[in-house]
Chains A and B, each alone.
Chain A
Amino acid sequence: KQEVTQIPAALSVPEGENLVLNCSFTDSAIYNLQWFRQDPGKGLTSLLLIQSSQREQTSGRLNASLDKSSGRSTLYIAASQPGDSATYLCAPNTGFQKLVFGTGTRLLVSP
């Protein structure tokens, strides 16, 4: 059974810092992995989808990497802004679009 761990559970940084969010998963037989953002009381917004054959995927200030064999993915946020404050969730796809979610990293970026 796939289990997903996200570290740290919470992170507080001043504006402008570069930061790394970590995601680890126990079953490396994944097809892809999605990173999402969730604002309080809202639905999930897809940030990046990285295929199992890829090592990196970039969108603006966001960069996701995937090391499938070691069961790890990282989300790098460059030059963080207060608007980046949210909970970030990773979800590997182990088949038939069944995503397994971690509990997320709650990020607070202070002005």
Chain B
Amino acid sequence: DGGITQSPKYLFRKEGQNVTLSCEQNLNHDAMYWYRQDPGQGLRLIYYSQIVNDFQKGDIAEGYSVSREKKESFPLTVTSAQKNPTAFYLCASSIAARPLIYEQYFGPGTRLTVT
């Protein structure tokens, strides 16, 4: 089955620790994205990547880092610099990011709790 997998489903960390969220897709999509969802708010874009070895900051990139070394993988690291890391994190992909018209598909999400 083609799709997007995120692991783990639930993640618990102590404040001050970095944590990496996994996102893998087997859809052969060029573009991948990370969003954050908080209660009562819409999804907000953290980072996106249009192609391997390239990525751009989204609207709320501070305290986060990403890498795109392989087409199928786009891990997100939540660093200790992120002030409010507890949230639901969603990974998405699309066939391409140019020329703009393509549909986004989402993974099941990772719920991160930092105490």
Rounded to whole angstroms, the CA-CA distance of A29 and B13 in the bound complex is: 41
A89 to chain B, nearest CB (A): 7
**Chain B residues closer than 8 Å to A103, beta-carbon distance:** 40-42
Let me know if A95 and B104 touch, CB within 8 A: no
Q: Return the contact of B101 from the options A42, A51, A89, A98 (Cβ within 8 A).
A: A51
Q: Does B43 contact A (CB under 8 A)?
A: yes
Identify the closest chain A residue to B10 (Cβ): A41
**Which residues 28-74 of A have a CB within 8 angstroms of B?**
31-32, 34, 36, 41-46, 49, 51
Residues of B within 8 A of A43 (CB): 4, 6, 90, 106-109
Q: Is the CB of A96 within 8 A of B97?
A: yes
Q: Could you tell me how many residues of chain B have their Cβ less than 8 Å away from some Cβ of chain A? A: 30
Query: 0/1 per residue, B38-66, Cβ < 8 Å to A?
Result: 00111111001010000000100000000
CA A89 – CA B50 in complex, angstroms? 24
Once bound together, how far apart are the Cα atoms of A100 and B42, in whole Å? 8
Number of A residues contacting the other chain (C-beta, 8 Å)? 26
Chain B residue numbers with a CB within 8 Å of A108 are none
Q: Which of B43, B100, B107 contacts A97 (CB 8 A)?
A: B100
Residues of A1-42 at the interface with B, using a CB-CB cut-off of 8 Å, are 4, 31-32, 34, 36, 41-42
Our pick among B40, B45, B102, B106 for the contact of A98 (Cβ within 8 Å) is B45
Residue in B6, B101, B104 whose CB lies within 8 Å of A46: B104
- CB pairs A–B below 8 angstroms (12 shown): A34-B104, A41-B109, A43-B108, A44-B106, A93-B100, A96-B97, A96-B100, A97-B97, A97-B100, A98-B45, A98-B58, A99-B43
